[in-house]
Amino acid sequence: MEIKNKEEKIDIKSLTLEDMRAWFIDIKEKSFHANQVHRWLYVQKVKSFDEMTNLSKSLREKLIKYAYISQIDVDFIASSKDGTVKIRYKLNDGELIESVLIPDGKRLTICISSQVGCAVGCEFCFTAKMGIRRNLTTSEIVNQVLIASEMDNVEITNIVYMGMGEPLNNFDNVVKSAKIFLSDRGLNFSKRKVVISTSGILNNILKLREEVPVRLALSLNSSTNKQRDRLIPINKKWNIESLIDVLKKFPLEPKESITLEYVIIKNINDTLEDAKNVLNIVKKIGIKNIKVNVIPFNEHDGINFSRPNEKNIEKFHTYLFEKGVDVLYRKSRGDDIGAACGQLVVPELVVKL
Ligand code: SAH
Ligand code: SF4
């Protein structure tokens, strides 16, 4: 097979180690070269096959003929007073996505995007206003981490899929990217340090666990179906009861837990009654298996919601804490640069409603 133009070449960063081994066999080479190429791409972080000096010249020439090493461009970087850094990337077709670096003590978490925009349409989320433009490819997901990790003084310790998009609506590419993050020949992240957050695409949650052992976060954000139907439209298809059923079946490793995210919004879901309902939901799944993360709503121009006052958030948090729930309330970060959760949006692309 003669491969000439880029469209026919393989995007080598889209291959997991396993896929790359199979691909080497396809092109009539030994599968162990996948280990070498993986190291060059993810440990040495080279940008061309010519730099892969432990491969023979003829193999390098073959790779150049059959494959390419994809990149995405940094379009814009903004730093917040609190140390949070937002990176806007320009993809090869001109689409824009965002990643956020969040320092916290010894940890440096990168929050990455999985889609351009999002189809789920949550009422409170700024990304939703863009609608869905397209899925990211595996390499576009991986490159967000690779390129950020090349910036000065950056050593990323954690990866969360909490940027733009619904990861479980881009299942295959998200799974492949997570496998590349965990690969011990490559980026070598511990499975405890990679978290995929979903709004509740229930048919893919158990499948995710079968494919890759990363941690799961689920955006509950409501204490009743009535609220959730309004805030997260897919609740009409997969409601809180069905969500509880699936989470009960989610096989956990020792000491592992599932995080329930609860974006708390003034006069929408911030009462003690709501906290009681959340407690019941947590108990039904299994109180020992759940961590609740209370996230104050980040205000933005997309919707007329506001953040509850501090006293109300504290009350909500304290109620759950006193009932024995492992609950965390962390003040949000990157607010001043639009880098907090739900503020990731490309302004030019907001659809005026
Ligand atoms: N689509 C996935 C992951 C991306 S959203 C999901 O919904 O889980 C990441 C998190 O940001 C979710 O928990 C979501 O509920 C939260 N979020 C969205 N908009 C927000 C806002 N305006 N303020 C605070 N959190 C928000
Ligand atoms: Fe999509 Fe998550 Fe935003 Fe909902 S909260 S619209 S699922 S990105």
Tokens of 300: 């933005």
User: What pLDDT is stored for residue 83 in this prediction?
Assistant: 86
Whether 322 sits among the annotated catalytic residues: the reply is no
Q: Compute the distance between CA of residue 350 and CA of residue 340 in angstroms, rounded to an integer.
A: 17
Q: Sorting pLDDT into bands at 50, 70 and 90, what band is 339?
A: low
User: What pLDDT is stored for residue 351 in this prediction?
Assistant: 47
Task: Give yes or no for residue 344 having a pLDDT over 90.
Answer: no
Give Cα separations from 314 to 106, 195, 291, 317, 321 (angstroms): 26, 26, 17, 5, 10
Pocket of ligand 1 (CB under 6 A): 124-125, 162, 166, 197-199, 219, 221, 261, 263, 295, 297-298, 300, 341-342
Cα 77 to averaged position of ligand 2 atoms, centre (Å)? 23
Protein residue whose Cα sits closest to atom 3 of ligand 2: 125
Tokens of 271: 């009462």
| DSSP state at residue 143 | H
Q: Compute the distance between CA of residue 332 and CA of residue 262 in angstroms, rounded to an integer.
A: 13
E strands along 82-205, which residues? 85-90, 96-104, 107-111, 115-117, 132-135, 158-161, 194-198
Q: Which ligand is nearest to the CA of 221?
A: 1
In 10 A of CB 272, how many CB atoms?
A: 12
The string over 320-351, giving b where at least 16 C-beta atoms fall within 10 Å of a residue's C-beta and e elsewhere, is beeeebbbebeebbbbebbbbbbbbbbeeebe
Protein residue whose Cα sits closest to atom 18 of ligand 1: 342
Task: Give yes or no for residue 101 having a pLDDT over 70.
Answer: yes
Report the predicted TM-score, pTM, of the whole model to 2 decimal places. 0.95
Tokens 């590349």, residue located: 180
User: What pLDDT is stored for residue 186 in this prediction?
Assistant: 87
Cα 101 to averaged position of ligand 1 atoms, centre (Å)? 16
Stretch 36-57: mean pLDDT, rounded? 96
* SS3 call for 11: strand
Q: Among the atoms of ligand 1, which is closest to the Cα of residue 298?
A: 23
